[in-house]
Each structure stands twice: as structure tokens, then as C-alpha cells.
Structure 1
């Protein structure tokens, strides 16, 4: 023990050597019990809110509240249920701890608040994992059925091919198929001398290049106008006008899609920020409720009467 001497008097500033340390003043059993009670009460109230919300749905009369009203009501009810659950849990923990000190009770209430949120997170994670596992099993069953059906169909097709269909296939000349494919793929000639399949193939090729590269050279644009004019039997000026109109509409559609994508991203960011603020408010309010419940549940030491 360290001492300090002033005008001949000694004052102690520590525990004597060999003295046992201060005993722990926290009851983990009480904290865990309070956390379990808080989660149970909050879950019970949320189930009650779910029942009330389902009762409010009336598809026959057409008087069902809107989605926004349901969302606001569910958020408020969740906040109230969480607050009441932590209030009761803090009270239970402080009462079971047996401590008559207000500071100890507040710390027990905060511990209940932390345990309660951890238990809620674990339960929510298990529910999400179970739902995902069920969905995966269902998708696997569907995929297995589809593959089995495909295998059966392939077997049937093979059996059919061994009949009259195989005899018909033997009568087809492979050289004719190759010549037809080469004729359909041959592009770059006079549009008036090309077949409709050839013109459409080259038009599709040029349009694909326009979409992927973002623009076409003047030579490709002239070629596209000639193909369109020959395919639809219109004047070259009319073909160029139609192409400009289609290109303008495509640019407007792309700009509109970009604008909607930005708006969706902004809405998602705003929604995430609002949800984060609400979660923070719910946790802060839950901590206050747990502390108040613990203060109420603090035991009052019995009064001791002294006789002279």
C-alpha cells in the first residue's frame, strides 16, 4: 500500500497487501435472461402486429391500405415492439441481478440491449439462410425435372430419327445446303441484285456495328441507306430520312434509360440512408428503454432502523 505523509499524518491510497480484489458486480445470468425476455416480448408484439396487418387487408371490399401506409405502419410498430421488449428485458435483468446500485442496474440494462440485438441478428440470419436453402432446393428440383425431361425428349428424338426421318435426311444433298448458306451470307454487292435474306443480313450486321461502336462511318451509312432503299423499294432520300429518325429514337431511348438508371440509383441510395437512420434511431431508443427498465427494476435496499 502506498502512503503519503503531510505534517506527520499518513493517508492510505490503496488496498493493503494481500487483500482480495473487489468481487464482480455483474450477473451474466441476469443479463442473458433479460436479453432472452426482450427478444421474446419483441417477437410476440411483432407477431401481433403481423396479425393486425393481415386483418386490415380486405380485397373483397377494396378498402385495403396502400403499400406506403403499410410500410409506415410496420416501421412504427417494429419500433414500438422493440422498445417495449428492451424495456421489459432491462427490468428483468436489473431485478434478477440483486443489485441495489443504480449504476450497476444501468450497466445491466445496456448489456441486455447489446445481447438482445445480437440474438435478433442471429435469428434473422438463420431465417434468411433457411429461406435461401429452401429456394435453392426448389430450384435444384426444378432443374432436375427439366434435365430429365430433356433427356427423355432426346431419347424420343433419337428413336424417331431412326425411322422415316432418317430416310428423309439421307435424300438431302449437303452441297445444296452449303450453297444456300453461302448465298445468304454473301454481302457487299449491288443491293438491287441481292436477295431479301442477303440485304437483311447485311442490314443487321451494320446495325449491330452501330450499336456496339456507337457510330458508323459515312461509307457504312450510305451503304445502309442503299440496302434499306432496295429492301423496302423506296427512294434513297426517304431511306436516309427513316434511318435518321430511327437513330434519333434510339438515342432518345438510350438517354431515357440512362436517366432512369441514375434516378433508380439515387432512390436506392436515399432509401439506404433513410433505413440506416431509422435503424440507428431504433437502436438508440432501445438503449434508452433498456436503461429506463433497469432503473425501474433496481432493488431498493431495506431501511435499517437504529436504536440509541
Structure 2
């Protein structure tokens, strides 16, 4: 004798007979996902316009950076609530009417339809933005690498710039000028000043963190010869200026680390708020679908 699995028969159907129709109304789900994408795009474009209106290139005008960040997060949450609220409600109204399901089952199916609307739109959006995500990941990796090598990178950049441009446009140009500055201003434009050589020596000292004894003695003699000062004064000038060049490289390293750390914190905060907005969108779509489903059945 055949066992009957179902204890509670649905209206109009024999006991133990499964409905041949799927419980998912894919037409309603797809329509809701399209609506969610369209409304989200519309609200994001509108929020971008408001953001451009809030900023200003003039000092003391326009919104501050913190105000723009908070406004962006609030607008992102509002976008999720409106877009998925509308999409979930429409999906609930458009789904087929289930006459063979209990009330609790209908409620579950409506919730599932709203969640499917959110999931489908999220997956499609992720696929469309795959290139942008890949670019962001690449940028994050580069930022991490830049943070790890910020110290060496800052010093190497100073040295490379000086070597390429002969210190005319590099970061060590000022220190080179001070080292070779004569006591007599009339000698300042004397031809043949060894600027490039001095810049290379300074750049090497910045990279290595100290000036070798040979380079220090050579620079002392060179500065004394070019500027007309005694060797004691020249040595004092060399020591002072190499310390200043090394401090400038350390300041550049510190600023690079601070910028990388600020970018890291900003990216982490945005990711967490984006995660929260996605959760809110899933909840709103599921809840709105139950409201639309009840309206559909009435």
C-alpha cells in the first residue's frame, strides 16, 4: 500500500500529489531586478549631481570632505531602500496567485521572490562592473605595495629625479644650490659648477641613509673650493645640508604612509557601509515583496 507523505492537503489537490508548476515566478523576479537596476542607476546619477553641486574649487566654500563622505553613505542607503522597496513590491504584485498553498507557504514564497530580485540584480550588477572591480583590486594591491616600500620609494624617487634632471628640477636642487652657494654673490653664476655630481652624491646619501666618509671629504673640499669658505665652514655646511636632505626624504616617506593609511581606512569604511547597504537592500526587497504579494491576493 502506498504511503501518503503529505498530512495537510492543499485546496483543490489530492493528498500526496505535487504541483507540476514551479513556485518561482521568474517573470516577476526578472521584472523586479530590472526595476531595481533602473531605479538604482537613476538615484545614483541624481546623487552624483547633488555631490557636484555640493563641492567647490574655492577655499571655504562647498561641503567638507567628511560631509561629502557621510552624504554619500546616506544616499547609498536611501538608494537601496527606495530601489529594492519598489522592485520587491512590484515583484510581489506581478507573481502568480498560488491557490494550492497555505498562508505560511505563501508568505515564505513572497519573501523568497523579493530575495531573488535582490540577488539577481546584485549578480548582474557585479558582472557588469567586473572590470571596475578588477581595476579597484589592482589599485588596492598597488597601494599596499606602495605602503610597504614607502621609505625606499620616497628616497629612490628623490635620487632618480635628481639623476634624470641634473638636479635642475629635482627635489635635491635646493640643497645643491645651498652647498655651492659662494660667499661672494658675484660668483654665483660661475660656469662649470658640478651640480649633477653633487646631486648624485646627495641622492646616494639619501638612499643609504648616511653620507660616506669619502663623499663627505670630497664634498667638503669641493664646497670650499667653489664657495671660497674655509674647510671647517664647508664641512659644517655639508653636514647641515645632508641632514636636511635626509629629513626631507623622511618627511616624504611619512606623508606617503599617511596618505596610504588614509586611503586604506577610507576603503575599509566604504566596504563596510556598502556591505550594510546590501543587507538592507536584501531585507527591504524581501519585506516589500510580502506586502506586494498580500495586495496581489486581495
Q: 2:37, 2:195 → 1: CA distance?
A: 67
Residue 244 of structure 2 corresponds to residue 246 of structure 1: no
- Unaligned runs of 5+ residues in structure 1 are 4-11, 130-194, 304-308
1:29 aligns with: 27
Q: Report matched runs for 1:98-109 at 5 Å.
A: 98-100=96-98, 101-109=106-114
Q: 1:240, 1:259 → 2: CA distance?
A: 29
Q: 2:200, 2:36 → 1: CA distance?
A: 66
Q: 1:33, 1:203 → 2: CA distance?
A: 71
Residue 284 of structure 2 corresponds to residue 289 of structure 1: yes
Q: Report matched runs for 1:47-196 at 5 Å.
A: 47-53=45-51, 64-100=62-98, 101-122=106-127, 124=129
Q: 2:38, 2:193 → 1: CA distance?
A: 72
Q: 1:56, 1:216 → 2: CA distance?
A: 51
Aligned-pair CA distance for 1:124? 4.8
The alpha-carbon distance between structure 1 residues 69 and 234, as it changes in their structure 2 partners (threshold 3 A), is same
- Unaligned runs of 5+ residues in structure 2 are 8-15, 99-105, 135-189
In the alignment, which of 194, 213, 219 is matched to residue 214 of structure 2? 219
In the alignment, which of 228, 242, 246 is matched to residue 223 of structure 2? 228
Aligned-pair CA distance for 1:114? 1.1
Q: Which deviates more, 207-216 or 195-204?
A: 195-204
In the alignment, which of 246, 271, 280 is matched to residue 276 of structure 1? 271
Residue 44 of structure 2 corresponds to residue 46 of structure 1: yes
Aligned-pair CA distance for 1:109? 0.3
Q: Which deviates more, 120-129 or 265-274?
A: 120-129
Q: Is contact 2:91–2:113 with CA below 8 Å preserved after alignment?
A: yes
- The count of aligned residue pairs is 228
SS at match of 1:256: helix
What is the TM-score of this pair, normalised by structure 2?
Answer: 0.64
Task: Please report the RMSD computed on the Cα atoms of aligned residues, expressed in angstroms.
Answer: 3.7
Aligned-pair CA distance for 1:121? 3.6
